[in-house]
Copies of this chain bind each other. A is one copy, B any other.
Protein backbone atom coordinates (compact mmCIF):
# COMPACT_ATOMS: atom_id res chain seq x y z
CA UNK A 1 0.00 0.00 0.00
CA UNK A 2 2.68 2.41 1.01
CA UNK A 3 3.61 4.18 -2.18
CA UNK A 4 7.27 4.25 -1.36
CA UNK A 5 8.66 0.86 -0.79
CA UNK A 6 11.34 -0.19 -3.13
CA UNK A 7 13.36 2.98 -3.51
CA UNK A 8 14.27 4.52 -0.19
CA UNK A 9 12.13 7.50 0.63
CA UNK A 10 15.04 9.86 0.70
CA UNK A 11 16.29 9.25 -2.80
CA UNK A 12 16.02 11.70 -5.63
CA UNK A 13 14.01 9.05 -7.44
CA UNK A 14 11.37 9.01 -4.75
CA UNK A 15 11.25 12.75 -4.88
CA UNK A 16 10.80 12.80 -8.62
CA UNK A 17 8.17 10.14 -8.17
CA UNK A 18 6.17 12.23 -5.75
CA UNK A 19 6.43 15.16 -8.10
CA UNK A 20 5.16 13.07 -11.00
CA UNK A 21 2.34 11.74 -8.85
CA UNK A 22 1.23 15.24 -7.95
CA UNK A 23 1.49 16.39 -11.54
CA UNK A 24 -0.63 13.47 -12.67
CA UNK A 25 -3.27 14.45 -10.15
CA UNK A 26 -3.10 18.10 -11.14
CA UNK A 27 -3.34 17.22 -14.83
CA UNK A 28 -6.43 15.17 -14.16
CA UNK A 29 -8.11 18.06 -12.38
CA UNK A 30 -7.03 20.72 -14.86
CA UNK A 31 -8.29 18.54 -17.69
CA UNK A 32 -11.68 17.94 -16.19
CA UNK A 33 -12.44 21.38 -14.75
CA UNK A 34 -10.42 23.62 -17.06
CA UNK A 35 -7.17 25.29 -16.00
CA UNK A 36 -8.52 28.76 -15.26
CA UNK A 37 -11.56 27.43 -13.44
CA UNK A 38 -9.54 25.03 -11.30
CA UNK A 39 -8.45 26.31 -7.92
CA UNK A 40 -5.20 25.28 -6.33
CA UNK A 41 -7.28 24.06 -3.44
CA UNK A 42 -9.08 21.62 -5.72
CA UNK A 43 -5.79 20.19 -6.93
CA UNK A 44 -4.57 19.91 -3.36
CA UNK A 45 -7.79 18.23 -2.26
CA UNK A 46 -7.39 15.71 -5.04
CA UNK A 47 -3.83 15.10 -3.89
CA UNK A 48 -4.91 14.72 -0.29
CA UNK A 49 -3.10 17.73 1.07
CA UNK A 50 -3.75 21.33 1.94
CA UNK A 51 -3.57 24.14 -0.58
CA UNK A 52 -0.39 25.66 0.74
CA UNK A 53 1.42 22.34 0.76
CA UNK A 54 1.55 22.18 -3.00
CA UNK A 55 3.87 25.14 -2.90
CA UNK A 56 6.51 23.03 -1.31
CA UNK A 57 6.72 21.11 -4.55
CA UNK A 58 5.86 23.74 -7.15
CA UNK A 59 6.38 27.45 -7.46
CA UNK A 60 2.94 28.25 -8.72
CA UNK A 61 -0.16 26.94 -10.40
CA UNK A 62 1.39 28.06 -13.66
CA UNK A 63 4.52 26.06 -12.96
CA UNK A 64 2.35 22.97 -12.71
CA UNK A 65 0.71 23.28 -16.12
CA UNK A 66 4.04 24.25 -17.50
CA UNK A 67 5.65 21.03 -16.34
CA UNK A 68 2.64 18.98 -17.40
CA UNK A 69 2.65 20.38 -20.90
CA UNK A 70 6.36 20.50 -21.51
CA UNK A 71 6.85 16.93 -20.34
CA UNK A 72 4.17 15.78 -22.73
CA UNK A 73 5.43 17.86 -25.65
CA UNK A 74 9.01 16.74 -25.20
CA UNK A 75 7.97 13.12 -25.40
CA UNK A 76 5.63 13.79 -28.29
CA UNK A 77 8.28 15.47 -30.40
CA UNK A 78 10.74 12.71 -29.70
CA UNK A 79 8.19 10.28 -31.12
CA UNK A 80 7.30 12.46 -34.11
CA UNK A 81 10.96 13.07 -34.90
CA UNK A 82 11.62 9.35 -34.85
CA UNK A 83 8.88 8.90 -37.44
CA UNK A 84 9.78 11.75 -39.76
CA UNK A 85 13.43 10.79 -39.58
CA UNK A 86 12.91 7.22 -40.69
CA UNK A 87 12.56 7.84 -44.42
CA UNK A 88 9.02 6.57 -44.94
CA UNK A 89 6.76 7.58 -47.84
CA UNK A 90 3.99 10.12 -47.35
CA UNK A 91 1.26 7.55 -46.80
CA UNK A 92 3.30 5.52 -44.35
CA UNK A 93 4.39 8.66 -42.53
CA UNK A 94 0.76 9.65 -42.28
CA UNK A 95 -0.09 6.27 -40.81
CA UNK A 96 2.76 6.38 -38.35
CA UNK A 97 2.13 9.93 -37.16
CA UNK A 98 -1.53 9.25 -36.50
CA UNK A 99 -0.68 6.05 -34.69
CA UNK A 100 1.87 7.89 -32.54
CA UNK A 101 -0.69 10.55 -31.76
CA UNK A 102 -3.17 8.04 -30.46
CA UNK A 103 -0.45 6.41 -28.45
CA UNK A 104 0.22 9.83 -26.90
CA UNK A 105 -3.45 10.19 -26.06
CA UNK A 106 -3.25 6.81 -24.41
CA UNK A 107 -0.25 7.79 -22.34
CA UNK A 108 -0.88 11.48 -21.65
CA UNK A 109 -4.63 11.84 -21.89
CA UNK A 110 -5.08 14.66 -19.34
CA UNK A 111 -2.08 16.56 -20.70
CA UNK A 112 -3.50 16.29 -24.21
CA UNK A 113 -6.85 17.61 -23.05
CA UNK A 114 -5.17 20.57 -21.37
CA UNK A 115 -3.00 21.12 -24.41
CA UNK A 116 -6.05 21.24 -26.62
CA UNK A 117 -8.23 23.42 -24.42
CA UNK A 118 -5.76 25.85 -22.99
CA UNK A 119 -2.81 26.31 -25.31
CA UNK A 120 -4.39 29.17 -27.18
CA UNK A 121 -4.89 31.12 -23.97
CA UNK A 122 -1.62 30.11 -22.34
CA UNK A 123 0.44 30.91 -25.41
CA UNK A 124 -0.06 34.63 -24.75
CA UNK A 125 2.09 34.19 -21.64
CA UNK A 126 5.86 34.55 -22.25
CA UNK A 127 6.43 31.47 -20.14
CA UNK A 128 4.64 29.37 -22.72
CA UNK A 129 6.21 30.50 -25.95
CA UNK A 130 7.16 26.91 -26.55
CA UNK A 131 3.50 26.20 -27.16
CA UNK A 132 3.40 28.55 -30.12
CA UNK A 133 6.66 27.06 -31.30
CA UNK A 134 5.24 23.55 -31.03
CA UNK A 135 2.19 24.56 -33.04
CA UNK A 136 4.40 26.00 -35.73
CA UNK A 137 6.45 22.81 -35.98
CA UNK A 138 3.30 20.73 -36.03
CA UNK A 139 1.98 22.74 -38.96
CA UNK A 140 5.24 22.46 -40.84
CA UNK A 141 5.47 18.75 -40.27
CA UNK A 142 1.98 17.98 -41.50
CA UNK A 143 2.06 20.34 -44.45
CA UNK A 144 5.29 18.72 -45.57
CA UNK A 145 3.76 15.24 -45.35
CA UNK A 146 0.61 16.32 -47.15
CA UNK A 147 2.40 18.21 -49.88
CA UNK A 148 4.72 15.31 -50.52
CA UNK A 149 1.72 12.96 -50.67
CA UNK A 150 -0.04 15.14 -53.23
CA UNK A 151 3.14 15.36 -55.30
CA UNK A 152 3.59 11.60 -55.20
CA UNK A 153 -0.02 11.14 -56.28
CA UNK A 154 -0.92 9.41 -53.06
CA UNK A 155 -3.26 12.15 -51.81
CA UNK A 156 -5.96 13.96 -53.78
CA UNK A 157 -4.92 17.22 -55.34
CA UNK A 158 -8.37 18.77 -55.48
CA UNK A 159 -8.46 19.61 -51.77
CA UNK A 160 -6.75 22.56 -50.12
CA UNK A 161 -3.81 21.07 -48.17
CA UNK A 162 -4.08 23.99 -45.75
CA UNK A 163 -7.60 22.92 -45.03
CA UNK A 164 -6.66 19.27 -44.69
CA UNK A 165 -3.91 20.27 -42.31
CA UNK A 166 -6.33 22.24 -40.13
CA UNK A 167 -8.74 19.36 -40.26
CA UNK A 168 -6.10 16.95 -39.02
CA UNK A 169 -4.76 19.36 -36.45
CA UNK A 170 -8.19 19.90 -35.00
CA UNK A 171 -9.21 16.28 -34.99
CA UNK A 172 -6.12 14.36 -34.05
CA UNK A 173 -6.33 15.21 -30.36
CA UNK A 174 -10.06 15.27 -29.82
CA UNK A 175 -10.31 11.62 -28.90
CA UNK A 176 -8.51 12.62 -25.71
CA UNK A 177 -11.69 14.17 -24.42
CA UNK A 178 -13.63 10.92 -24.41
CA UNK A 179 -11.02 8.15 -24.62
CA UNK A 180 -10.79 5.75 -21.66
CA UNK A 181 -7.98 3.26 -21.67
CA UNK A 182 -10.42 0.72 -20.24
CA UNK A 183 -13.11 1.44 -22.86
CA UNK A 184 -14.26 -0.99 -25.53
CA UNK A 185 -11.90 0.32 -28.22
CA UNK A 186 -8.15 0.21 -27.80
CA UNK A 187 -6.04 3.19 -28.81
CA UNK A 188 -4.67 1.19 -31.74
CA UNK A 189 -8.12 0.25 -32.95
CA UNK A 190 -9.29 3.86 -32.76
CA UNK A 191 -6.22 4.93 -34.66
CA UNK A 192 -6.88 2.32 -37.32
CA UNK A 193 -10.48 3.40 -37.87
CA UNK A 194 -9.47 7.05 -37.80
CA UNK A 195 -6.91 6.43 -40.50
CA UNK A 196 -9.40 4.56 -42.64
CA UNK A 197 -11.91 7.36 -42.27
CA UNK A 198 -9.50 10.11 -43.17
CA UNK A 199 -7.83 8.21 -45.99
CA UNK A 200 -10.82 6.50 -47.56
CA UNK A 201 -13.85 8.34 -46.21
CA UNK A 202 -17.04 6.88 -44.82
CA UNK A 203 -18.78 6.25 -48.11
CA UNK A 204 -19.42 2.62 -49.09
CA UNK A 205 -17.88 1.58 -52.45
Binding site for B on A (CB under 8 A): 33-34, 36-37, 117-118, 120-121, 153-160, 163-164, 166-167, 170-171, 174-175, 177-178, 185, 190, 193-194, 196-204
Contacts and interface: CB of A to CB of B under 8 A. Distances in A.
Given A157-B204, A163-B185, 9 more contacts: A37-B121, A159-B197, A160-B193, A163-B194, A166-B174, A166-B178, A171-B171, A198-B201, A199-B202
B167 A171 contact: yes
22 contacts: A33-B121, A34-B118, A34-B121, A120-B177, A153-B204, A155-B203, A156-B202, A157-B204, A158-B196, A159-B193, A159-B197, A160-B185, A163-B185, A163-B193, A163-B194, A164-B197, A167-B171, A170-B171, A171-B174, A197-B198, A198-B201, A199-B202
A200 B34 CA distance: 36
Nearest to A91: B203
Q: Work out how many copies of this chain go into the complex.
A: 4
Contacts of A155: 202-204
A92 B157 CA distance: 25
Contact of A156 (B121, B166, B170, B203): B203
Task: Report whether over half of chain A's contact residues are helix, strand or loop; otherwise say mixed.
Answer: helix
B197 A199 contact: no
Nearest to A157: B204
A202 B33 contact: no
Contacts of A160: 185, 193
Contact of A167 (B157, B159, B164, B197): B197
A43 to B, nearest CB: 15
A130 B174 CA distance: 23
A37 B62 CA distance: 14
Nearest to A120: B177
Nearest to A152: B204
A163 B190 contact: yes
Contacts of A36: 34, 36-37
